[in-house]
Amino acid sequence: MKRPVLVVVGLALFVAGCGGSSSSSTTRPKAPAGSKVTSCKTGGLRATSVDCGSAREVMIGWQHSHACALGQGESRGACSVSGFRCQSVRTDEGVSVSCARPGEAVAFIPRSGG
- Please state the domain extents for the chain: 33-114
Average pLDDT per consecutive 10 residues, the chain (114 residues; last block may be shorter): 45 43 39 70 86 94 94 93 96 91 93 56
Alpha helices by DSSP H, listed for the chain, are 2-17, 52-64
Identify the pLDDT of residue 44. Answer: 85
Identify the pLDDT of residue 6. Answer: 42
Identify the pLDDT of residue 15. Answer: 39
Distance between start and end Cα atoms, the chain: 68
Identify the pLDDT of residue 37. Answer: 83
User: Do residues 78 and 86 touch, judged by C-beta distance below 8 A?
Assistant: yes
Name all contacts of 92-96 with Cβ < 8 Å and 24+ positions apart. Answer: 95/70
Identify the pLDDT of residue 93. Answer: 81
